[in-house]
Amino acid sequence: MARRRLGFWRRLAVVLVKPLMIVWTRRTWRGMEHLRHDGGVILVPNHISHADPLVVAHYIYDAGRWPRFLGKASVFRVPVVGWILHRCRQIPVERGTVEAVKSLDKLVAALAERGAVVIYPEGTTTREPDLWPMKGKTGAARLALVTGAPVIPIAMVGPERMFDPRTARFGLRPRTPVTVVAGPPVDLSRWAGATPTRPILEEMTDTIMLRIRDLVAEIRGGTPPPLWQRPARTGAREATE
C-alpha cells in the first residue's frame, strides 16, 4: 500500500490530521473498493464545505491511496506552507493565465505516476441553496480525455455540519456524522478518442456531475433537482475550465 512508502512529510501530515478527524467525525465509508486501482485515478467529489477536503482526504487515505489535491499556485509560493505542500505531493495549478496549460501537464504526470488526483469539478463550493451539486467545469473531463484514466465519482454528506458555507458557522461538536460514498468509474467510453471541443467536454462534464448528484441522492434520499446552473459570468472564462 502507498501508506507504507509515505516518507517523513506525508506521514507527519497523517499524524497531525487523522487523530483530529477521528475525534471530530463519526464516519460512514462506502465504496472504497472503487479506489483500489493500481494505476492513476481521477477522483471527483461534490463540494459542499470548506471542511470537506479533510473528510475526503481521510476517506481516500483509509482506502489505501494518497490524495493529491489541486491547489492555487499562489499558495505554493507561501514560505514554509508551499514547501510542505510540495513535500506532501500536492499539485499547484495556475488559474486564469497562460500557465494553465502547464498545470494540465502536471496532472497528466501525476496520473502517469499512479497518483490519485482529486478534482472538484464544480470548481468551488456549490451555490445550490440546499447544497446539491451544480453544473461543473470541464477540467476533469479534459484530463480524462487526454489520459484515459478512470473517473471515480465521490459523494459526501455531513461536512456542512463541520463548516456551513451558507452561514460561515463552524460546528466543533465531536463525532459529527459524515458519509462518503464512491461509485464505480463513470462510463465515458462513448467519447474515447474524441476531439476535446467545448461541446464534447461539456457533455462529459454533465455526465460526471449527474453521476455525483445521483450518489448524493442515494445518501440523502428523495428526488434530486436538476444540476444547478450558476449565473452567467461576464468576461473571459477561466483558462483552466
Rounded CA gap, 189 and 215, in Å? 20
Q: Do 83 and 90 meet the contact criterion of CB atoms below 8 Å apart?
A: no
The larger pLDDT score, comparing residue 187 to residue 230, is at: 187
What are 96-116's pLDDT values in tens digits?
655 666 778 889 999 999 999
- CATH number, domain 2-69+96-220, options 3.30.300.30, 3.40.1130.10, 2.40.10.10, 3.20.20.100: 3.40.1130.10
Show the cell assigned to 55. Answer: 473528510
Rounded CA gap, 233 and 218, in Å? 32
Q: Taking residues 139-153, what's their average pLDDT?
A: 96
What are 3-33's pLDDT values in tens digits?
457 899 999 999 999 999 999 999 999 999 9
Q: Look at residues 150, 55, 157 and name the one whose alpha carbon lies nearest to residue 111.
A: 150
What are 190-230's pLDDT values in tens digits?
999 999 999 999 999 999 999 999 999 999 998 999 999 87
3-state secondary structure of 28: strand
**Domain residue ranges in the chain:** 2-69+96-220
Q: Do 240 and 100 meet the contact criterion of CB atoms below 8 Å apart?
A: yes
Given a cut of 80, is residue 119 above it in pLDDT? yes
Q: Taking residues 117-134, what's their average pLDDT?
A: 95
pLDDT classification of 1: cutoffs 50, 70, 90: very low
Given a cut of 80, is residue 85 above it in pLDDT? yes
Show the cell assigned to 206. Answer: 454533465
Rounded CA gap, 213 and 21, in Å? 25
The model carries a pTM of 0.91
